[in-house]
Structure formats: structure tokens, C-alpha cells
Amino acid sequence: MPRFSFPHPLTLLIGCVLVAAALSYVLPAGRYERRDDPVTGRTLVVAGTYQPVPREPVNPFQAIVAIPKGMADAAAVIFYVFLVGGAFSVVEQTGALRRMVDGLVRLLAEREVLVIPVASVAFGMGGMLIQMQEELIAFVPMLLILTGRLGFNPLTAVAMSLGAAAVGAAFSPINPFQVGIAQKVAELDLLSGSLFRIAVLVPALGIWILGLSRYAKKTRHPPDQVAAVAAGASGWRQSTVLWLVLATFAFFVFGVLQLKWDFDQLSALFFLMGVAAGIVGGLGVKGTAEAFVEGLRSMAFAALLIGFARGIYVVMDQGQIVDTIVHGLFTPIAGLPKILSAIGMMAVQMAIHFPVPSTSGQAVLTLPVLVPLSDLLGLSRQVTVLAYQYGAGLCELLTPTNGALMAMLAASHVRYDQWLAFLVPIYAALVALAVLALTAAILVGLK
């Protein structure tokens, strides 16, 4: 009997695009009315306004056209991935990354297992504060070298960075792109329920770190033996490049938090870092350009996956079935008891996150529908926000429509089926924790 082979990520995403197109022939088209909200600065759904609209099925050719449209929609992120890849290819050519990693390895001598909890907490904080995802692609070269030198495989690098960040974001008390927007839409005070969220965040990160540590211990291999010094790059040059990289990340954090930089500004920042690193690192203009091109080439697959994933949503939106899916999934919840309604809301949010891979977009789409429903059921709006936050947030770890996840896996040469095999037992534990948290929130009367 032939052995089952998990499809290639591009095959999987193209299949999802075609399935979305097929659904546009099967599901009725429909739309909610929308209004501009000055508080959130976004366009919100008006609850109770769902109406059927003329069907607009997406034919196979239109579905394929949706792929370049998805790439255009995600252009800022795609070019960020390219320029980050190019910049760090230059940095790596100078030997600076290996010099830094060698220093970390010496620092962690006999204490290598500490790298997993320390890195997971650090990246978890990044997820908690600003929902870091695509931004983490910049860390891939350094993480792969570090985990290789410590004897851990590339999946461990993805899990202790993007995985930990996703957990931090899913259980965050202050994530502005998820809980912040959701609380505005639900007309709740910002930071309300923070102590409860923190109480759940701590065991959530603990579950992730414990599961990842057990996996890393089981799959650990002899450490990679790589020379620390690259030919043609002297020690002072490497040290200067490292300080340049650290300064870039300092500007990165300042730009995101204080200047509200988007991917265009961040892309430019990393491009400048790459150019400066090449010149300072002794590569010269030609060597810098060649290293940059090599980096662009290495990130092409990861960048493509982001655009292909976005194409799935483009097809569903063009076929006008996204609102139909939301309406159809939430309607049965109205007749359930409070606790089951909350758990049902979380489950539906998980299902919706496949066609709507943006957590902020999902908040403004679903919460205007759910908030009036929760009021009718006598369910706290805070619990409704929690159900959205846990459902959508945890799916960031799972769905192939999450372009950042697929790009990180591709850049780290980790297959999606390998990721799923690692993820499923930890994911189940996190979902169980979320269910317990929703139940506890209802029982204590969280407002």
C-alpha cells in the first residue's frame, strides 16, 4: 500500500483556493451592512443586518487570478520578508552572526536547556505586547544557527519564537491588535479583565514551554560544529556589525511602539542595515549586492506562501460568502446554555479564522454580531471577547492560511506536517485551558 505523503505547502494552499472557489457555487451569497466607527477607526459590521445578495460564483480561472491579487494585498509583508532575508544574508556573510552565537553557546555551556524557556518568554512577551508574527522572520537566521549549535532542530527554533509569540498574543491582556480592538468593538474599557487574562497567560506559556522542552530533549542531536570566524572578516568588523544589528532592533522596537511604523518603514530599516553591514563587514559593494541577492533567493518561497494564503480570503470575499459563513456558524449558538454558548463561540471563532486569517479583521467582523447575541443570552461581553481572543489567537498556530506561520516554516525548512505532529498535543492542552478559563470567567462573573 502506498504511503500517504503530506502535500507540499503550495499544493495545499492552491487546493484551499480552489475549495474556496467551489464553496462560492454551493453557499448562498450574503452580506452584513457596515458602518465606519470613529472609536476603532475601522469599518464594523452592523448586527442583525445580514441579507442575501445575488450569487457571484468564482470560476477556476478567477480563483487563480486571486493568487496574484492576494500577493498584491500582502505586498508590504512580502517585500518585508524579501528585504529582511537579503539583509541577514549580508550579515551572515560577514561572520558576525556566528560570532554572536558562539558567544551565546559559551555562555550557556552546561545550561543549554535554558535557551528554550528564556527565548519562549522573550518572544511570548513580543506576542503579548504587539502580536509579533511576520516580524519574527528577521530572527530566523540567528535562531537556526543558535539551535543548531546547541543540538536542537529547526522546528525548535520556530516553536520558541513564532509559537511562543502566538501563545503570548492569544492570552495577552494588552495586545492592541486583538484584545484592544475587540474590547473597543464590545464597548469595554481597555485593560479590563487584565488580571484574569494574566492569570491564564502564565499557565499557557508554561504549557508551551514544557511541551517544547520535552520535544527538544527527545529530538536533540549532536551540536553542529561550525567555525566561528568567517574568512575575510576581522574581529573588529564582526563586532561592529553586531552592534549595528542590535541598534537596528532597538530602532525596530522604537519605531513600532512609538512611531507606529508599518512594514514599509521596517523593510527600509533592514535594507539600510544590510547595506551598512556589508560595507562595515568588508564585503564591499559587489559582495554586499551578491549576498543580498542570495538572501532574496532564499526567502522567495516563504514570501510566496504569504501571497498564496491571502488569495484564499480574496476568493471568499469575491464570492461574497465570508459573511454567510459567519452568519451560519453563529446562529445555532443562540439556543445553548451560557457555558456551552461561550465554548461554542470559541469553537466558531476557530472555524472562522481559516477563511479570515487576520485577527483584527475577525474582531470587527464577528464581534458586532456576537455582542448583541451575548447580551440577549445574559452572557458577559468580556467572556465574548475572551471566546474570540482564545479561538482566533490559538488558530494562529494551526491554520495554513496564516502566511506568517507558513513563511517561518518554509524559511526554517520545516514541513507543515512535521509542525502539526509537534503541535497537536500541546494545542489540545491549550484549548482545554481556554475552555476552563471561559468556564471560570462565567462562574466568577467576569465583566
Q: Where are the domains of the chain?
A: 9-45+60-443
Position 101 scores a pLDDT of 64
11-15, 231-235, 380-384 — most confident range: 380-384
How far lies 13's CA from each of 8, 305, 324, in Å?
A: 9, 8, 22
Q: Within a 10 A sphere around the Cβ of 283, how many other Cβ atoms?
A: 21
The rounded mean pLDDT for the chain is 84
Q: Does residue 179 surpass a pLDDT of 80? A: yes
Position 231 scores a pLDDT of 41
pLDDT digits (tens, 9 = 90+) for 152-170: 999 999 999 999 999 999 9
Phi-psi region of 213 (alpha: psi -120 to 50; beta: other; left: phi over 0): alpha
State whether residue 49 is helix, strand or coil.
coil
Looking at residue 243, what DSSP letter applies? H
**Count of alpha carbons within 13 angstroms of residue 54, beta-carbon side:** 1
Query: What predicted TM-score, i.e. pTM, was given to this entire model?
Result: 0.74
8-12, 26-30, 108-112 — most confident range: 26-30
74-78, 215-219, 313-317 — most confident range: 215-219
Calculate what percentage of the chain has a pLDDT beyond 70. 90
Q: Does residue 236 surpass a pLDDT of 50? A: yes
100-104, 192-196, 239-243, 421-425 — most confident range: 421-425
Q: Within a 10 A sphere around the Cβ of 177, how many other Cβ atoms?
A: 16
- Mean pLDDT, to the nearest integer, of 352-365? 78
Radius of gyration of the chain (CA): 23
Helices 75-93 and 140-150: angle between axes, nearest 10 degrees: 50
Q: Does residue 53 surpass a pLDDT of 50? A: yes
